[in-house]
Amino acid sequence: MSKITPIAAAVAAASLFLVAGQGIAQQASTPAAKPAAGAADPAAVKRPEPLKKRAPEKATPQTEMLIMDSQGIRMAPANVSAHMLAEYLILESGGFDLAQPTQEGTTGRDRLVQDEIQKLCSLGKGEQPDSKAAAKVSELAMATIKYPEGGVKLGDWKKGRELAWSGFGFRTAHNPDDHGKQTPGANCYNCHQLATDRTGGTIGPALTSYGKLRGSSEEILKYTYGVIYNAHAYFPCTNMPRMGARQLLTPEQIADVMAYLIDPESPVNKSSMSGMSGM
């Protein structure tokens, strides 16, 4: 994630970029933090000016993110970090359909603006959260977990099984999932092996015989509910989606998925352990 090198900046400055008549300068004093709805802030659009050369020493004022014209980016000044440019490209440049409606009644923009946990957990190659960040993530996550009144109880493992298998729901882009036609699933098998009659993924640990190995004590039920609700509470910066905290599953659906994991009658606890790893 290197910044633009000083050499590049010199080349950039020397390339005689012209603030052309149709050009606008994108202001970025608060890059992508609170973008105005609709993006086009008239105050940020410079009046057309006569063609003139830009003096190199003036080419990178503090507040200037990118110099644009009608065709797109022309120059990324040297004081624009890769991070700033990425935020700009995602939230300001018109690349994504930020107005696209989502199933939860928000917009594409809401999907793309990062919350605190997403920011803290956007780690580069080989990076792990440091202990302070991990503690912060865990604390933020723990605060989101709402346990059911009257304690955590198991639901219907048969419903849980179907939820665990289904990868439907909340997809938007070119082919939005219609929740009126089908209930969103829990996506478990995408990443986890569960009962072994179906093939699960390996991004998460295998959960075969989950209940058989752990039992169904109050502590295990509470822990399992918490992990499904917001796994970052126990595993900061885990890959696992926050199924409860982001309202991907209802508390009832979580209870059904938990039954699939823990109920002694569930195929998860009747499957052979042979060949399973990563418990």
Interface contacts to other proteins, rule CB under 8 A: 1-5, 8-9, 11-12, 15, 69, 71-76, 80, 82-83, 85-86, 89-90, 93-98, 100, 102, 104, 107-109, 111-114, 117-118, 121-125, 170-175, 187, 189-191, 199-203, 239, 241-242, 246, 248
Provide the residue count of the chain. Answer: 279
**How is residue 91 written in tokens?**
């939230």
Q: Least distance (Å) from other proteins to the CB of residue 261?
A: 18
**Cβ-based burial of 5 (10 A; exposed 0-12, middle 13-18, buried ≥19):** exposed
* Closer of 154 and 253 to other proteins (Cβ): 253
Please state the closest distance from residue 219 (CB atom) to other proteins, in A.
26
Residue 93 or 216 with smaller CB distance to other proteins? 93
Q: b vs e for 23-44, b when ≥16 Cβ sit within 10 Å of the residue's Cβ?
A: bbbbbbeebbeebeeeeeeeeb
Alpha carbons within 13 A on the beta-carbon side of 75: 26
Question: Measured from the CB of residue 216, what is the shortest distance to other proteins in angstroms?
Answer: 28
User: Least CB distance from residue 149 to other proteins, whole Å?
Assistant: 26
Are 66 and 73 contacting, i.e. CB atoms less than 8 angstroms apart? yes
> Could you give the CA distance from residue 209 to residue 5 in angstroms, rounded to a whole number?
53
The helix/strand/coil state of 52 is: coil
For the CB of residue 151, give the shortest distance to other proteins in the complex, in Å. Answer: 28
> Between residues 170 and 210, which has the closer beta carbon with respect to other proteins?
170
Residue placing its CB nearer to other proteins in the complex, 30 or 71: 71
Nearer to other proteins, 209 or 230 (CB): 230
